[in-house]
Structure 1
Amino acid sequence: MQLPPQQEGFTAYPADLIPEAEADPDSLGVSILDGEDVVGYFVLSRGAQSDKYLPEPDPAGAAIRALSIEERCQGRGVGTAAMAQTADFARRHFPQAEYVFLVVNQRNAHARRVYEKAGFADWFVRDGGEHGPQWVMRRSLP
């Protein structure tokens, strides 16, 4: 998978995430397809991997982590469509979850627009440490 150089600081490559997701019973690696081609990936997590982004642990939340979309597929709505489907997907795999959330760096305005189009809204601002301030965005599950 290829990412534009300016995005490499905002996400991780799937090859780096897959072993972690497979080893964690509270995480689920999700491949994004365009037809039969895998063009993206993210991790859906609960528990410790989810709670580390919140001011306090919350068993009602599930985190979307490290979304990456193949560079050649960006700008075609693939990421927006995938994020729009996460509510139903999260409900099926984590039935106890009441919402999904994600963290986006404030320097990554393009990603924020993708998430807004998919139904996510600002929830709070988080100090991202060395990466700078981050928006935490949330979407309720049906």
Structure 2
Amino acid sequence: MTARPGARAVSDPPSSDPRAELPLELVLLDTVPTADRDDLLSAARALRLGPGQDAFVPPAADVVDAALADPDRHLLVARAAGGEVVALGVLHPGGAPDEVVALLGGAASADVVLFRGFLVDVAAQGAGVGSRVTALLPGAVADLARVRRRATPYAALVLTVNERNAAGRRAYARAGLADRGAYLGGSAGPQRVMATTLDRS
């Protein structure tokens, strides 16, 4: 997630919510021109947490700054149909703690991408953004492999989510991530490790 290992997902949307049907695009900032990147960074910094969510994830500006200071962290944003940035996250290859990697069935740490620092703007919460972003992550990880000029694709995508965040666990599970067990190293309390293997063909 970010400097804190807990990820945040929002409540599942009611099926009648029209926002849940709107298209969502993930943009890996490494793949966009500098001018567009600066605009996206500004929009990402402005994302706002809901009440109490700072227990699970730092403010957006802190997530952005931590990623910009670490060449192994790659920022991505989610854009809604109108172009507005509604969510932010970080792909961190090789960033998963050893205790987390050990739960992934033999994958090497360098072949695992940690998804961290995920937050959805308070105004976009309740519309299923968490599930939809998670479902799109394998494509973003494939883009990242090309950006980093890897000879082989990444093997797994993993995140940790606070045990108290039941809505987050449901959202990630609906997007295809499986619960792999407990991780006790999170600064915000016990976490669940959720992961998916990636197509390497």
TM-score by length of 2: 0.64
Q: Does structure 1 residue 42 correspond to structure 2 residue 86?
A: no
Distance across 1 between alignment mates of 2:175 and 2:56? 19
SS of corresponding position for 2:109? coil
Q: In the alignment, does 2:165 pair up with 1:108?
A: yes
Higher mean displacement: 19-28 or 78-87: 19-28
Residues 50-59 or 21-30, more deviating: 50-59
- Work out which of the residue numbers 117, 120, 130 in structure 2 matches 1:66: 117
- Change in 2 beyond 3 A, CA 1:130/1:37: closer
What RMSD over aligned residues (CA atoms) do the two structures have, in Å? 1.9
Which structure is higher in RCO with an 8 Å CA cutoff and minimum separation 6? 2
Alignment: residue pair count:
141
1:139 counterpart residue number: 196
Taking every aligned residue pair, what percent have the same amino acid on both sides? 31
Spell out the pairing of 1:16-27 with structure 2 (5 A cutoff).
Answer: 16-27=62-73
Give the SS at the match of 1:24: coil
Q: Which residue of 1 aligns with 2:142?
A: 91
Query: More strand per residue: 1 or 2?
Result: 1
TM (normalized to structure 1)? Answer: 0.89
- Give the unaligned 5+ runs of structure 2: 1-46, 103-107
CA contact (8 A) 2:101 2:109 kept: no
Counterpart check, 1:14 vs 2:65: no
Aligned partners of 1:128 and 1:72: how far apart in 2? 31
Q: Which runs of 5+ in 1 are unaligned?
A: none
Which residue type is aligned with residue 44 of structure 1? Answer: L
1:90-109 superposed Cα distances (whole Å, 9 cap, x missing partner): 02213541110000000111
Point out 4+ residue stretches in structure 1 off by more than 3 angstroms. Answer: none
CA offsets 1:7-49 (integer angstroms, 9 cap, x no match): 21111222112122123221101111112001110110013x3
